[in-house]
């Protein structure tokens, strides 16, 4: 039985709350807002939505991205302090999805940003987003 | 090196797409002190080229794609696309299907107005309204899941020829329960809130002549004094069988638009109750479409259909040259006119703190602007 | 019938082809040089609301067909005006002076997507696309599936091989 390093112990104490920056495109907007609002409340788990990338830990990329909006998302990612996690939500973000033959949407998110987790669905249900949030906590613990 | 002089106190401010006060939409403002001198809109963050995507797909595939034009009212766009294909093919759909379509369209309108109330409240600082509105909206999304199978995207439920499947037997009672809950929410909204009065009264006034010249439709022009509604002027489906009123106001400011949204919700509840009483028995889809063949040709011709969706007047122009796929589809969305000419006009002379109130009171959806 | 009266009034002043498609729908075809006068005339008849403006590309006939849809709040009729211009050098007069800002924004979109020059429109800068140097995207000779396969997908990639099979 290995002993836990002292760093891991302090990390477990510090990870009580994660601050999230949401980058909604259209499809994410209508299905992520109930996650923040009354029925499935994200605040119970310690996650709130912040408006400034410099305060955020997690970046949710929800919905299909176009060439114009992915440049802005990259700038936001550069402003986030380490450690930072990117989550891709929805099938149109990951593989092009329903707009696979459109000239203006991007088809592979990993060419632009380093993605940690994928949540499939069109759009994914709030319960799926919750399961992803639970996995983030575990992932951040294992990162050290 | 040349320096651009724009005035002693003027500077430019960019309300970008990641700002919590706007959607996927950016506005560049030229400001002098606290007042806005001019505004310019930079849309295009959501452009997919929808109209040409529809040219590569059959009508039965387009029925699934059409609900993604604007996520906030997916069933309404489903309906307008189905009407266009049916008129080109010359098909008459059964009565029961028409009543079911009207019920789904009105539920979608109520759900969209609840979102409008929620984001308008959070834009002016009233957080409770936001939480309540999205809480009540979830009852309607559960109804959608029971009848169509999806919470926000109904997967082409309203397809050319009728509707995809019959609602289950428990649906009628559940709809009546949900309508009672929505009436509770309307009573809450009707209470005069001093916060809303202070932040929305006499802000963003739009007079009638300007509104017609700038192309405003729907709740925006009804708040400026013109009594018009596509459901009464050109009735489509079975709207001529129902008894409902059109709310009109004269002031044209943000508070008037907000009140009209509230009154339209009441009228929608009344229409759904009348439709549930008169729902006839029968088929829910035309026989030719219940098992669609992949090589069904659309006869040659063109058609322009207008519908009244929650945000204003929606239009679709479809041209066919006799092939199985449409030749050209043009989608006219209400937000295209509300968010570019009307917003630039209203922001001239306003204060910076009023920008979210003006923007959210116009109820625009950036997705149906860019398509 | 109101639809017939409107067509007769227009035919008295202009040489056009008019037809009634169904209840509340009137279609009028005209030549491009008479377009702005005809639009001013019907605006005075009561068609104050420009509902939409669109361009259809017919490569076999070598034309771009313009359609203008205007609605009258007074008589409750929709009129559709159609004109045809050359496809290789598309130029037409703008209707900004007739219907104002609502026409100007539609023309700006059509300029970007089809490449039509509108004479008299004060602002034709790009609306949706940034740094787009190829031909206008909605023309019929710009095949999207070819473009996407060349620029975005990789045939060697296991996940993307399916996009190279024709349906």
Q: Which residue segments constitute the domains of chain A, with CATH numbers given?
A: 19-143 (3.40.50.12280)
User: Do B225 and B208 form a contact (C-beta atoms < 8 A)?
Assistant: yes
If interface means Cβ-Cβ distance under 8 Å, which residues of chain C face chain A?
129-130, 137, 144-145, 147-148, 152-153, 159-160, 163
Chain C residues whose CB is inside 8 A of the A64 CB are none
Residue B21 confidence (pLDDT) above 80: no
How far CA B290 is from CA of A92, B97, B299, in Å, comes to: 30, 13, 19
Give pLDDT tens digits for B164-201. 888 888 888 899 999 998 888 888 878 777 777 777 88
**Contact partners, residue C82, CB within 8 Å, separation at least 6:** C27, C28, C29, C30, C65, C66, C67, C68
Instruction: Give the closest of C51, C67, C100 to B213, CB-based.
Output: C100
User: Closest Cα partner for A61 from B68, B221, A69, A44?
Assistant: A69
Which CATH code for domain C2-124? 3.30.460.80
Give residue-wise pLDDT tens across range C55-101. Answer: 998 988 888 999 999 999 888 889 999 999 988 888 888 899 888 88
| C134 min Cα distance to partner chain A (Å) | 11
Any CB–CB contact under 8 A between A96 and chain B?
A: no
CB-based contact B370 C78, cutoff 8 Å: no
| Host H or E run for residue C9 | helix C2-13
CB contact under 8 A, A26 and B17: no
In chain B, pLDDT over 90 holds for what percent of residues? 16
CA angle C165, A110, C166 (to 5 degrees): 5
Give Dmax (Cα) for chain B: 78
pLDDT digits (tens, 9 = 90+) for B35-46: 888 888 888 888
Phi, psi dihedral angles at B234 (to 5 degrees): -130, 75
The model's confidence at residue B364, banded by pLDDT at 50, 70 and 90, is confident
CATH number of the domain located at residue range(s) B50-370 in this protein: 1.10.645.10
pLDDT at position B329:
92
Q: Chain C within 8 Å of A102 (Cβ-Cβ)?
A: yes
Q: Which of A22, A37, A62 best probes binding to B when mutated, by most B CB atoms within 10 angstroms?
A: A37
Position B1 confidence tier, pLDDT thresholds 50, 70, 90:
very low
Q: Does A72 touch chain B (CB under 8 A)?
A: yes
Phi, psi of B336 (to 5 degrees): -60, -35
Query: Does residue B80 carry a pLDDT above 70?
Result: yes
pLDDT at position B5 is: 46
Q: Locate the chain C residue with the closest alpha carbon to B232.
A: C76
Would you list the domain boundaries of chain B? 50-370
pTM of the model: 0.88
Predicted confidence (pLDDT) at residue B317 exceeds the cutoff of 90: yes
Report DSSP state, residue B132: H
Predicted-assembly ipTM surpassing the 0.95 threshold: no
Instruction: Give the per-residue pLDDT at A77.
Output: 84
- Which regions in chain C score pLDDT beneath 70? 166-167
Q: pLDDT at position A45, please?
A: 67
Residue B367: closest CA among B326, B331, B342: B331
Report the C-alpha gap between C90 and C101 in whole angstroms: 22
Chain A residues 20-39 within an 8 A CB cutoff of chain B:
23-27, 29-31, 33-34, 37-39
pLDDT confidence of residue B315: 92
Indicate yes or no: CB of B315 within 8 angstroms of CB of C52. yes
Q: For residue B284, is pLDDT > 80?
A: yes
Distance of CA C126 to the CA centre of its chain: 17
Residue C131 CA: distances (Å) to CA of A103, B371, C97, C107, C128: 13, 19, 30, 20, 10
Averaged pLDDT in 10-residue chunks for chain A of 144 residues: 54 58 65 68 68 77 83 84 82 83 85 86 81 75 61
The residue count for chain A: 144
Which residues in chain B have their CB less than 8 angstroms from residue A29's CB? 23, 71
Q: Which residues of chain B neighbour A104 with C-beta distances below 8 Å?
A: 47-49
Mutate to test the interface with C, among B299, B304, B306, B339 (most CBs of C within 10 A): B304
How would you label B44-57 residue by residue, b for 16+ Cβ within 10 Å and e otherwise?
bbbbbbbbbbbbeb
pLDDT for residue A49: 72
Run of H or E residues at A93? helix A91-95
Return mean pLDDT, chain B.
85
Q: Which pairs count as long-range contacts for C138-142, CB under 8 Å and 24+ apart, including other chains? A: C138/B49, C138/B51, C138/B52, C138/C57, C138/C113, C138/C114, C139/C57, C139/C114, C139/C115, C140/C57, C140/C59, C141/C59
Question: Would you state the pLDDT for residue A10?
Answer: 57
The distance of B180 to chain C (nearest Cα, Å) reads: 36
């Amino acid at each position: 039985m290995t002993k836990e390093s002292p760093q891991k112990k302090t990390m477990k104490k510090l990870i009580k709350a994660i601050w999230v920056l949401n980058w909604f495109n259209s499809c994410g907007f209508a299905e992520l807002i109930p996650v923040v609002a009354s029925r499935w409340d994200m605040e119970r788990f310690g996650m709130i939505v912040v408006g400034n990338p410099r305060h955020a830990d997690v970046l949710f990329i929800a919905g299909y991205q176009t060439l114009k909006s992915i440049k802005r998302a990259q700038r936001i990612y550069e402003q986030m302090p380490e450690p930072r996690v990117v989550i891709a939500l929805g099938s149109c973000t990951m593989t092009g999805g329903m707009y696979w033959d459109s000239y203006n949407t991007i088809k592979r998110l990993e060419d632009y940003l380093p993605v940690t987790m994928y949540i499939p669905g069109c759009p994914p249900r709030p319960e799926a987003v919750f399961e992803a949030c639970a996995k983030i906590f575990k992932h951040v613990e294992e990162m050290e | 090196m040349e320096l651009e002089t724009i005035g002693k106190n003027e500077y430019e401010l960019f309300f970008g797409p990641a700002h919590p006060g706007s959607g996927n939409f950016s506005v560049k403002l030229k400001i002098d002190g606290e007042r806005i001198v001019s505004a310019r809109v930079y849309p295009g963050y959501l452009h997919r080229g929808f109209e040409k995507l529809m040219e590569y797909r059959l009508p039965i595939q387009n029925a699934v794609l059409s609900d993604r034009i604007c996520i906030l009212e997916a069933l309404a766009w489903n309906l307008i696309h189905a009407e266009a294909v049916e008129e080109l093919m010359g098909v008459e759909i059964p009565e029961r299907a028409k009543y079911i379509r009207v019920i789904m369209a009105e539920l979608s309108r109520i759900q969209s107005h609840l979102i409008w109330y929620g984001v308008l409240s959070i834009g002016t600082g009233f957080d409770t309204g936001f939480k309540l509105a999205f809480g009540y909206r979830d009852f309607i999304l559960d109804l959608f899941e029971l009848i169509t199978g999806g919470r926000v995207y109904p997967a082409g439920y309203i397809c050319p020829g009728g509707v995809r499947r019959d609602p289950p037997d428990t649906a009628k009672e559940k709809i009546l329960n949900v309508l009672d809950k929505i009436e509770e929410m309307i009573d809450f909204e009707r209470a005069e809130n001093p916060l809303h009065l202070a932040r929305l009264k006499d802000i963003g006034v739009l007079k009638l002549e300007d509104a017609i010249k700038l192309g405003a439709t729907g709740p925006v022009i009804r708040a400026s004094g013109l009594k018009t509604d596509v459901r009464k002027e050109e009735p489509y489906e079975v709207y001529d069988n129902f008894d409902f009123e059109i709310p009109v106001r004269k002031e044209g400011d943000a508070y008037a638009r907000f009140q009209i949204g509230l009154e339209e919700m009441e009228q929608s509840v009344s229409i759904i109750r009348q439709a549930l009483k008169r729902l006839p028995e029968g088929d829910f889809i035309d026989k030719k479409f219940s098992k669609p063949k992949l090589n069904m040709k659309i006869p040659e011709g063109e058609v322009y259909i207008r519908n009244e969706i929650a945000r204003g007047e929606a239009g679709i122009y479809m041209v066919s040259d006799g092939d199985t796929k449409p030749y050209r589809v043009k989608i006219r969305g209400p937000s295209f006119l509300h968010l570019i000419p009307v917003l630039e006009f209203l922001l001239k002379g306003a204060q910076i703190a009023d920008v979210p109130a003006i923007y959210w009171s116009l109820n625009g959806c950036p997705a149906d602007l860019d398509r | 019938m109101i639809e017939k009266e409107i067509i007769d009034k227009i035919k008295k002043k202009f040489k056009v082809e008019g037809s009634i498609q169904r209840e509340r729908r009137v279609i009028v075809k005209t030549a491009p040089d008479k377009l702005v006068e005809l639009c001013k005339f019907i605006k005075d008849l009561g068609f104050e609301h420009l509902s939409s403006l669109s361009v259809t590309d017919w490569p076999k006939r070598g034309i771009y067909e313009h359609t203008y849809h205007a609605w009258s709040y007074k008589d409750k009729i929709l009129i559709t005006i159609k004109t045809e211009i050359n496809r290789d050098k598309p130029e037409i007069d703008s209707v900004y002076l007739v219907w104002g800002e609502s026409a100007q924004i539609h023309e700006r979109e059509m300029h970007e997507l089809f490449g039509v020059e509108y004479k008299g429109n004060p602002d034709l800068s790009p609306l949706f696309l940034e740094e787009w140097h190829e031909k206008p995207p909605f023309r019929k000779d710009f095949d999207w599936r070819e473009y996407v396969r060349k620029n975005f997908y990789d045939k060697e990639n296991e996940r993307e091989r399916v996009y190279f099979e024709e349906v």
